[in-house]
Chains A and B, each alone.
Chain A
Amino acid sequence: MNLPLEEALQQQSNKQQLQYEAYKSRKRSLLYNRYFILGILAILIIWSWVGTKFHIMDLFSGFSNMAIFIFQDLLPPDFTTIPSFVGPILETLYMSYVGLLFSVTFSLFFGLMAAKNTTVHPAVAIVSRSFIAFLRSIPAMVWGILLVAAIGLGPLAGTLALGLSGIGILGKAFADLLEEIDENQVNAVRATGANWYQVIGQAVWPQFKPGFVGWSLYKMDLNIREASVLGVVGAGGIGFALEGSISLFQYQQASVGILAIFALILVVEFITAKLREKII
């Protein structure tokens, strides 16, 4: 026969035992899950390692060859060739800017159609969303190749490629921004008897503007990077001149091109950062 005190102690220790069991099972499931994901990653890495015939020595030989190449061939940059890069650099800038305006204009339309609360019909929203997703999942470079085939070499193909891939990014961003708009403010303005333009101007735009400006300027930064390599496939911009000088073994000229791209990116990022501060 147990005494009451002993019984209580027994119960308490049982309870602790149960809690401990639950804790252990939780820990086990977490650990099991971690091993599962790590296992998948390990399989993926081994598969890729074997598939690409990668050798750990490639890292050392690759980077040492690269260092030798940089210090022997790329440096010092031949700064007398700067004038030949001015035109392509400006062209890159123009392409990015026109491509940006193109994608902003169309993204506003497709974004409005894709957002659940501003679309004319739910079916239109689904079509618009999937169109945007399709544009997004094909890289600008691929658009460049397709458009060069369609409309010929030159900056027009590159500009349109930037514009199309831009709709993919900005359209999604704008649609998401519109869906997050506070409906109460819109309803409040509407309750005062405002017409559609006034509702858009006074209730929707003020909420939409910071995201709109931020995403558009971010896209400008991206465009400069994309535009500087689109020339490799003949879609205009500095990439064409750069690849030309590399394939002619004019490496000291190529290093000027690389530095020019670096400078252009820095300048544009500085300007977009200033504009972001000023507008938002």
Chain B
Amino acid sequence: MSKMNKQNNNLSRGILWSLAFIFFVISLLQLDIAPEKLANIFSRTQRLLDNMFPPVIDDPINIAGAAIESLQIAVMGTLWGIIFSILLAFFAAKNMTPHISISYLVKALAAFVRAVPALIWALLFIIAVGLGPTPGILALAVNSVGMLVKVYAETIEEIDQRVIDAIRATGGSPIQVVMQGVLPTISSIFISWSVFRFDINLRYATVLGVVGAGGIGWELIRASRMIAYNEMLGVTIVMFIMVLGAEYFTRFLKQRADLATIRATK
């Protein structure tokens, strides 16, 4: 019996692998990746690299300003994303929602908003509110809401009901239940997800400028349209430094907070 099972398993695994391989071949054919094209890549990349080095940053003040704008868009997008997500999460969590149908509605909405990429939200918001950093902020906020509502609601659903009952039993009002029972248990998970989302948003903010939603992406696409390869590399390096710097900064804050907690609970 177990031998037959194993054979069956092997057969289905074989089918799976061959399907994966056939799909790979089809994809290669459909993408039109011909060998001569691949051979061409090397000579063209060689030319690109020759033109790229040394990297230059024309107009450093402008590019630094654009990098800072990207950072600011990420901060504002995350801020509004968090605010709206916290409000919506209480409607989405099954144990807090006024009615179960509202919970399903909010969750379905969040799933849709999450599935549409941030850049497409930016394209739509540019039509709705015009160019500049505002559509970038709104696009990041909307896309963050899609993800954060889901994880916040899941966190709230996992709250220990007995804690809430205990506070309610002492005569606590709904606000006191939230402040004393709900917030302390969910705050650390909320914070770690929000920091994670900030990292994602920062990466999105660097490319939102490609469609004109503010930030450093615009400088990159401008350089590529002018075929200024060395400037493209310069802007890419600025982006790299900005993302890395922000990551070190959030890590520093996190470590500081952890250290203080450890010292206080010793």
Contact = CB atoms under 8 A, between A and B. Distances in A.
A200 interface: no
A266 B115 contact: yes
B129 interface: yes
Interface stretch (A62-70, A113-121, A180-188, A191-199): A62-70
A155 B264 contact: no
Given A98-B31, A149-B229, A52 B73 contact: yes
Contacts of A204: none
A138 B236 contact: yes
Contact of A151 (B44, B125, B135): B44
B240 A137 contact: yes
Contacts, number: 188
A58 B134 contact: yes
B133 A52 contact: yes
B256 to A, nearest CB: 7
B256 A33 contact: yes
A258 interface: yes
Interface of A is mostly: helix
Given A66-B128, A69-B128, A145-B221, A54 B76 contact: yes
A261 B118 CA distance: 12
Interface in A123-152: 134, 137-139, 141-142, 145-146, 148-152
Interface in A61-91: 61-63, 65-66, 68-69, 73-74, 90-91
B72 A48 contact: yes
B220 A156 contact: no
Contacts of B28: 98
Given A48-B73, A139-B206, A232-B119, 18 more contacts: A47-B75, A49-B76, A51-B72, A52-B134, A62-B134, A66-B125, A69-B127, A90-B30, A97-B24, A137-B240, A137-B243, A139-B204, A142-B206, A155-B32, A232-B123, A258-B120, A262-B112, A262-B115
Interface of B: 16, 23-24, 26-28, 30-33, 37, 40-41, 44-45, 48, 68-69, 71-73, 75-76, 79-80, 112, 115-117, 119-120, 123-125, 127-129, 133-135, 137-138, 203-204, 206-207, 210-211, 214, 217, 220-221, 224, 227, 229, 232, 236, 239-240, 243-244, 247, 253, 256-257, 260-261, 263-265
Interface of A: 26-27, 29-30, 33-34, 36-37, 40, 44-45, 47-49, 51-54, 58-59, 61-63, 65-66, 68-69, 73-74, 90-91, 93-95, 97-98, 101, 134, 137-139, 141-142, 145-146, 148-152, 154-156, 159, 225-226, 228-229, 232-233, 236, 239, 242-243, 246, 251, 258, 261-262, 265-266, 275, 278
